[in-house]
Structure 1
Amino acid sequence: MTYYDYGLRFKYLRKQRNISLKTAAQVINTSRQGLGNWENGKGNLGFEEVIQLLKYLEINPTEFIDSSLKFYDLTSDIKFAYIDNDTEYLKAYATNTLIRAHNHLTDKDLFLKGIIACNFYYELTQKDISSKQDKDRLRSFFSNIDSGDRNWTMKDVYVFGNTQHMMSSSEIYSLSYSLIFDGLKHEYESKEWKVAIISSLLNANFILINTDLKKAESLYKLFDRNKDKFSDLYANEKIRLAFIRGFITYSKDPNKQNRRKIEELLESLKLFNLFDLEEGLRFTLGQIDNHLGLYDYHS
């Protein structure tokens, strides 16, 4: 299989599950370079090898192909720029795409491409280049869900998870609240969909820690009460949820003892070779330190 959208889609899902390139390559007895080339559209991978990788990630092959074709178009132009930290390209793409979207108000996907690019740009620079009009239009996209007139779709979950920096803390909390009760109650056939829902909720909680600690704590408690709806197959997600509790406690009282508890948890991840997960959580801790003005902890 050589279609580069499949490889990049797989790369996105692999990173979402905090599975290293080395681990994934070992599953099919290939080199990291070989698998990496396929993920980036520069090499081939046999059909049986792709199926084996999807089985390891517990992803339904049919749904993987469908979701790759359905959602990839929203980020296909900017995925590489985001991965490569190409902020100049992201800014230009977001600006130009939103200008076009303003002239084509019925083209929702064109707008979503632009606002997702703004979100990616913000993640890398902490700079918001979207306008009030853009935010109003994004709010309109979710308005029927927020009012309870329609249920969540997987496209909604995908867009929500990739536009949260473009929302107010109240909007993030309201949509997360809705997603917990609407999304988690469904028994999706593939692990991919439930991981997408849980990851979107976890990301929302991480963002709220730095923007509205009270809402972050409220969302965490609500999420924690519903964690029985996902089994031990979602171990990485449960670990991230446990760290949210520690991050909230630390943000409320950033003393050395609370800091040490988080460091001990981070060190414990190394025992299970969860290096990618550890790296991501350390990055989040650094963001919290920056928000709190605790630059002395960066060493």
Structure 2
Amino acid sequence: MNENELNFGENFKNIRKAKKMSLSKVADGITSKSSLSEWENGKGKMSFEKVVKMLTKLYITPSEFVVDSLQSSLNEMMIEIDNAYTNDQLDKLKELYDYYSKNSDKYFSDKNAFILEMISANCYMALSGINLFSDEKQDKLENKVRKINNWYYEDVFFFNNSSFLLPAKLGEKMSLNLIGKIIQVDHTKELHVKWTIVALDAVLNSSFILLLRDYQKGKEVIKKFKKLTPILDRYGTQLVRFRFLECAVNYIKTKDSSEFENKFFPAIEFLSFSNYGEGLKYAFKQLKAVYGQ
């Protein structure tokens, strides 16, 4: 079973059965019955394009399917992790990590258990700089990330939720790889919009983490990311985050915060991004803590 596949296939199966559609009927003209069965049971992968075509037969939009999948039992369990992270509760994150790690065989599938452990450890690392993963689990994580190639939605999710745990060199490599994939996607197709948003966010998150750890590697990713500017014009939030990273590169180089204080943050306020701007101001504080002023 692919541990970074989440439960999209399982959720698809539940929807298909609820609509009383057979494997053969849904797969006809799109994929084989056996391939669909394997994906539904977590034993294979399915391209996003094929999933979208099959969803049409079920009268489900891609966005509805993704949202429904992300509201599954796994993601309900993630809420507690997210709350602990948002409130800087290191003790709670450690407690959750220990719980998922020790009780995985009893309460969760191996796939879900590893993802929950990973997300807990990733959040803990983000707040404390301490990696809770054993060497064995760290190797397991890095091997799985290295095997990502096609960048299915599940792959992007996996990478985005492990970025703090990854060595800078691997984070840089996978970020550049994902940027290349984003460039290849046909952005005129509506079915790619959701994937593109998640992919852009994953690279933006990774780029910021790289800047905190290794300026040169972060700078290289941001330089490559600039090739996505025509695409970013369609995604306002992601464009703002990219402009933040460009300002961050200049700040690290010059230690001059005037660009942030006199241009970037006032512009955020003017454009009514004030709520979102609080997160970026916190990110700027992180930069100053690492690089000084």
The 10-residue stretch of structure 1 (124-133 or 234-243) with the greater mean CA deviation from structure 2: 124-133
Once the two structures are superposed, what CA deviation does each residue of 1:164-210 show, in whole Å capped at 9, x if it has no partner?
11011101101111111124423461533211100110011111111
Give, in whole Å, the separation in 2 of the partners of 1:94 and 1:133.
16
Q: Does 1:133 align with 2:136?
A: yes
How far apart are 1:74 and its partner, in Å?
6.5
Which letter maps to 1:113? L
Report the TM-score when normalising by structure 1.
Answer: 0.69
Which letter maps to 1:191? V
Q: Which residue of structure 1 aligns with residue 284 of structure 2?
A: 285
Q: Which residue of structure 1 aligns with residue 209 of structure 2?
A: 207
Are the counterparts in 1 of residues 104 and 113 from structure 2 also a CA contact under 8 Å? yes
Equivalent pairs, count: 228
Give, in whole Å, the separation in 2 of the partners of 1:98 and 1:260.
46
Give, in whole Å, the separation in 2 of the partners of 1:69 and 1:113.
13
Give, in whole Å, the separation in 1 of the partners of 2:143 and 2:101.
16
Give, in whole Å, the separation in 2 of the partners of 1:141 and 1:98.
18
| SS of residue paired to 2:71 | helix
Which letter maps to 2:219? E
Which letter maps to 1:240? R
Q: Does 1:260 align with 2:261?
A: no
The 10-residue stretch of structure 1 (125-134 or 174-183) with the greater mean CA deviation from structure 2: 125-134
Give, in whole Å, the separation in 1 of the partners of 2:171 and 2:63.
29
Q: Which residue of structure 2 aligns with residue 5 of structure 1?
A: none
Coordinate RMSD, CA, aligned = 2.6
Where does 1:105-254 land on structure 2 (aligned, <5 Å)?
Answer: 107-145=110-148, 150-187=149-186, 189=191, 191-228=193-230, 230-254=231-255
Which letter maps to 1:221? K
CA 1:195/1:170 → structure 2, altered by over 3 Å: closer, same or farther?
same
Give, in whole Å, the separation in 2 of the partners of 1:98 and 1:183.
34
Which letter maps to 2:136? Q
Give, in whole Å, the separation in 2 of the partners of 1:265 and 1:285.
11
Which letter maps to 2:206? A
Give, in whole Å, the separation in 1 of the partners of 2:253 and 2:102.
41
Percent identity between the aligned chains?
Answer: 21
Give, in whole Å, the separation in 2 of the partners of 1:253 and 1:132.
38
User: Where does the alignment leave 5 or more consecutive residues of structure 2 unmatched?
Assistant: 1-60
Are the counterparts in 1 of residues 122 and 165 from structure 2 also a CA contact under 8 Å? yes
Which letter maps to 2:243? A
Are the counterparts in 2 of residues 169 and 211 from structure 1 also a CA contact under 8 Å? yes
Larger Rg: 2
User: Which of 77, 81, 85 matches 1:82?
Assistant: 85
Are the counterparts in 2 of residues 74 and 109 from structure 1 also a CA contact under 8 Å? no
Give, in whole Å, the separation in 1 of the partners of 2:259 and 2:153.
36
Give, in whole Å, the separation in 1 of the partners of 2:141 and 2:124.
16
How far apart are 1:156 and its partner, in Å?
1.4
| SS of residue paired to 2:147 | helix
Which letter maps to 1:110? A
How far apart are 1:96 and its partner, in Å?
3.2
Are the counterparts in 1 of residues 62 and 191 from structure 2 also a CA contact under 8 Å? no
Are the counterparts in 2 of residues 98 and 115 from structure 1 also a CA contact under 8 Å? no
How far apart are 1:269 and its partner, in Å?
0.8
Give, in whole Å, the separation in 1 of the partners of 2:283 and 2:208.
8
User: Which of 65, 69, 73 matches 1:66?
Assistant: 69
CA 1:102/1:291 → structure 2, altered by over 3 Å: closer, same or farther?
farther
Q: Which residue of structure 1 aligns with residue 21 of structure 2?
A: none
Give, in whole Å, the separation in 2 of the partners of 1:82 and 1:209.
21
